[in-house]
Amino acid sequence: MSMTNLFFSLHLLVVVATLCSFVLRRLSLSSAGELKLHYLILVLALVLPFVLLMNPLDSSFAPLTKSFTAQTLREYDQPFVLQAPVEKIAIGSLAPTGLDVTWLQTLVVGFMLLSLLISLWAVIKEVRSIRHILRDAHVLRRIRKATIVCSDTVSVPFSFLTPWHAWVVIPTSFLTDSSLTLISIYHELQHHRQRDTAWQYVVLTLRALVGVNPFMSLFDKIISEAQELKVDSTLVDEGKVRASDYAQCLLDVATNACVGQKPLVCATGLAFLTDRQSLTRRIENMFQLKKNGSWNVGALAIALTLFMSALAFKTGQAIGSPGLTMEEAQALLTNTPTTFPLEMNGDVLHQLNRTLQTVQGRQEMRQALKRLERHRALVESKIQEYGVPQELIAVPIVESGYRNLAQHENPSHGAGLWMFIQSTARAYGLRVWDGVDERLDEAKETDAAMRLLKAEKIRFGKWPLSVLAYNAGDRVVTKGIFKTGSRNAWVLIRHGYQGDKHYLAKLTAAILIMKNPSLLE
pLDDT at 486: 94
Backbone angles phi, psi at 405, to 5 degrees: -80, 140
Distance CA 27, CA 201 (A): 27
DSSP state of 176: G
pLDDT at 246: 79
Distance CA 489, CA 491 (A): 5
Measure CA 351 to chain center.
Answer: 24
Contact between residue 327 and residue 20 where contact means Cβ atoms under 8 Å apart: no
Contact between residue 52 and residue 309 where contact means Cβ atoms under 8 Å apart: no
Contact between residue 1 and residue 52 where contact means Cβ atoms under 8 Å apart: yes
- E strand spans, 15-165: 138-143, 146-151, 158-161
Q: How far is CA 339 from CA 160, 172, 369, 392, 464, in A?
A: 69, 87, 20, 10, 12
Which alpha helices (H) appear in 61-163, and where do they start and end?
Answer: 73-77, 102-135
Burial class from Cβ neighbours inside 10 Å (0-12, 13-18, 19+) for residue 19 reads middle
pLDDT at 519: 87
Distance CA 154, CA 315 (A): 44
Give the SS3 label for residue 521: coil
> Which one, of 388, 511, 399, 389, lies nearest residue 451 by Cα?
388
Distance CA 274, CA 281 (A): 11
Distance CA 210, CA 7 (A): 8
123-126 long-range contacts (CB < 8 A, ≥24 apart) are: 123/204, 123/265, 123/266, 126/264, 126/265, 126/266
How many helices (H) and strands (E) the chain has is answered by 20, 7
pLDDT at 7: 79
pLDDT at 409: 62
Distance CA 228, CA 143 (A): 22
Give the SS3 label for residue 177: coil
pLDDT at 68: 45
Which alpha helices (H) appear in 316-461, and where do they start and end?
Answer: 326-334, 346-356, 359-386, 395-399, 422-427, 442-460
- E strand spans, 196-310: 267-269
Question: pTM for the whole thing?
Answer: 0.56
**Apex 209 CA angle, 112 and 221, nearest 5:** 140
Q: Is the dihedral of CA 515, 516, 517, 519 positive or negative?
A: negative
DSSP state of 391: G
pLDDT tens across the length of the chain (521 residues): 456 677 778 888 999 999 999 999 888 788 888 899 999 999 999 998 888 766 544 444 444 444 444 445 665 565 433 333 333 333 333 333 344 455 666 777 777 788 888 888 888 888 888 888 888 899 999 988 899 999 988 888 888 888 888 999 988 988 888 888 888 889 889 999 999 999 988 998 898 888 778 899 899 889 988 888 888 888 888 888 888 887 887 777 777 665 555 555 555 655 555 566 777 777 777 776 555 555 688 888 999 998 888 887 766 555 555 578 889 899 999 999 999 999 999 999 989 988 887 777 888 999 999 999 999 999 999 999 999 999 999 999 999 999 988 877 666 678 899 999 999 999 999 998 878 889 999 999 999 999 999 999 999 999 999 999 999 999 999 999 999 999 999 999 999 998 888 999 999 999 999 999 988 87
> Which one, of 449, 437, 341, lies nearest residue 400 by Cα?
449
Contact between residue 153 and residue 133 where contact means Cβ atoms under 8 Å apart: yes
pLDDT at 96: 37
The fold adopted by the segment(s) 326-520 is Lysozyme (1.10.530)
DSSP state of 91: T
Helices 346-356 and 359-386 meet at what angle, rounded to 10?
120
329 CB neighbour count, 10 Å cutoff:
23
Backbone angles phi, psi at 149, to 5 degrees: -130, 160
Contact between residue 96 and residue 345 where contact means Cβ atoms under 8 Å apart: no
Distance CA 269, CA 291 (A): 24
Q: How far is CA 328 from CA 99, 359, 513, in A?
A: 18, 21, 13
Domain boundaries along the sequence of the chain:
3-315, 326-520
pLDDT at 440: 92
Strand partners, 139: 149
Q: How many residues does the chain have?
A: 521
Q: What is the DSSP string of 464-495?
A: HHHHHHHHH-HHHHHHHHHHH----HHHHHHT
